[in-house]
Amino acid sequence: MKKTIPFFDYSHIHGQYSNELTKIILDLSMKGSFIMQGEVKKFEENLSSFLGAKYSLGVGNCTDGLLLAIKAAGIGYGDEVIFSSHTFVATASAIYHSGAKPIPVECGHDHLIDIKSIEAAITNKTKAVIPTQLNGHVCDMDELIKLCHKYNLILIEDSAQSLGAKYKDKFAGTFGIASAFSFYPAKVVGCYGDGGAVVTSDDQIYNQVFLTRDHGRAKIGEVVTWGMNSRLDNLQAAILDFKLSKYNLDIQRRREIASIYDDGLRDVKELVLPAAPNANPDKFEIYQNYEVEVQVASERDGIRTDLKNNGIGTILQWGGKAVHEFEGLDLKYSLPYTENLMRRCFLLPMNTSLSNDDVNYIVESIRKYYNYGN
Ligand SMILES: Cc1ncc(COP(=O)(O)O)c(C=O)c1O
């Protein structure tokens, strides 16, 4: 029987805990606790202890968080910062708005920043690398850190998509001088609007972002530096704190879904799948997204249309373009591997609203399309 499986189902995600979440919103609304109240601090402390980091700072969104972290690290005009072009434009725009020059490089087969391409792009102006821990997977951090040491580069992680992912038992977002997380509603831990956090164990970065996220104010009435308004709303912090307390269950479920996809599709030669859970003992993936590739670009429309006809929603990340391909950004680079990948990859549904039946239905639809038996 035909099912309807949207790419993302917000009502289901809210419905899982609607009583608890509604109570949180009502209670705080009645108290008038909206800006920089205790819930922000509580969430920051719980996020730090979840990640094993010294500090977390709630901010308006991950893009601001990256910008605040970049500036706090002393990066700006005259500097170049390297990032993978297979990322959301936010990684690059945060670099751009700091005054530094964003330098896009290739991603590799794992869709994460390609270490060799970083090395080839280093100049005497290169000040930092911002890897994106994409789709809930973590880069090979030993290699990346080695490279950063070799060339004296600052490491800041775009961890927007990787809360809870690990490399050698250390959490994404805790490898560099700072990182930024996103709590956009469709993220693994999502709030009811925009939200983000800067995570760091560096006292200087913490002190600076603490000031700059709130107009440079040390306390009300005392401005000590130039800052901006990028605070995490108190309501959002309370919602996030509740969701964080349940998050380990969600991680487990996402990994189960990834296993069902992997078991059901591994022999389908027409598709390239992401790494399966436990495939690499050094890595622990949380599957923010399940990004698959067709072997040949011209075949992507066919499978996506067939899935759509079967009621299954898929999407192209970033609308199907790498950052350097957006002409309006005037980044004139040629990155053939990433460009080719962008024409071949798409996202299958991956979130905790999916039942095993749903995932098996998606698997069966794909197998039928490519004429594989069940
Ligand atoms: C890889 C990546 N970086 C940065 C961001 C920006 O996050 P936010 O929307 O919270 O600013 C996102 C959000 O989609 C993202 O996926």
Q: Which ligand 1 atom sits nearest the alpha carbon of residue 90?
A: 4
Q: Which of 79, 156, 81 is nearest to 125 (CA)?
A: 79
Determine the residue of 63, 85, 317, 318 to mutate for testing ligand 1's pocket, defined as the one with the most ligand atoms within 8 A of the Cβ atom.
63
Q: Which of 298, 312, 300 is nearest to 345 (CA)?
A: 300
pLDDT band at 358 (very low <50, low <70, confident <90, very high): very high
Q: Which ligand 1 atom sits nearest the alpha carbon of residue 194?
A: 10
Ligand 1 centre to CA of 161 (Å) is 7
Instruction: Name every protein residue with a CB atom under 6 angstroms from any ligand 1 atom.
Output: 61-63, 87-88, 90-91, 132, 158, 160-161, 182, 184, 194, 196
Rounded to two decimals, the pTM is 0.98
Ligand 1 centre to CA of 263 (Å) is 30
pLDDT digits (tens, 9 = 90+) for 239-276: 999 999 999 999 999 999 999 999 999 999 999 999 99
pLDDT for 151: 98
Q: What is the mean pLDDT of residues 178-190?
A: 97
> Which residue pairs from 45-48 have beta carbons closer than 8 angstroms and sit at least 24 positions apart in sequence?
46/241, 46/244, 46/245, 47/181, 47/197, 47/199, 47/240, 47/244, 48/199
pLDDT for 221: 86
pLDDT at residue 219 above 90?
no
Q: Which ligand 1 atom sits nearest the alpha carbon of residue 182?
A: 10
pLDDT band at 138 (very low <50, low <70, confident <90, very high): very high
Q: Which amino acid makes up residue 13?
A: I
pLDDT digits (tens, 9 = 90+) for 163-174: 999 999 999 999
Angle at 64 between CA 77 and CA 238, to 5 degrees: 160
Q: Which of 107, 99, 94 is nearest to 62 (CA)?
A: 94
pLDDT at residue 374 above 80?
no
Q: Which ligand 1 atom sits nearest the alpha carbon of residue 134?
A: 1
Q: What is the mean pLDDT of the chain?
A: 97
Q: Note whether 214 and 222 are within 8 A (CB).
A: no
pLDDT digits (tens, 9 = 90+) for 74-115: 999 999 999 999 999 999 999 999 999 999 999 999 999 999
Angle at 160 between CA 155 and CA 164, to 5 degrees: 90
Residue in the structure block whose two tokens are 């670099």: 95
Ligand 1 centre to CA of 286 (Å) is 16
Determine the residue of 57, 62, 93, 191 to mutate for testing ligand 1's pocket, defined as the one with the most ligand atoms within 8 A of the Cβ atom.
62
Ligand 1 centre to CA of 367 (Å) is 32
Q: What is the mean pLDDT of residues 317-335?
A: 97
pLDDT for 232: 98
Ligand 1 centre to CA of 85 (Å) is 14
Q: Which ligand 1 atom sits nearest the alpha carbon of residue 63?
A: 11
Q: What is the mean pLDDT of residues 137-166?
A: 98
Pairing between β-strand 290-294 and β-strand 345-348 as defined by DSSP bridges: antiparallel
pLDDT digits (tens, 9 = 90+) for 285-319: 999 999 999 999 999 999 999 999 999 999 999 99
pLDDT band at 220 (very low <50, low <70, confident <90, very high): confident
Which residue's alpha carbon is at the smallest distance from atom 7 of ligand 1?
62
| Spatial distance between the Cα atoms of 295 and 299, rounded to a whole number of angstroms | 8
pLDDT for 373: 81
Ligand 1 centre to CA of 243 (Å) is 19
Calculate what percentage of the chain has a pLDDT beyond 70. 100
User: Hey, what are 2's tokens?
Assistant: 């035909």
Q: Which ligand 1 atom sits nearest the alpha carbon of residue 184?
A: 10
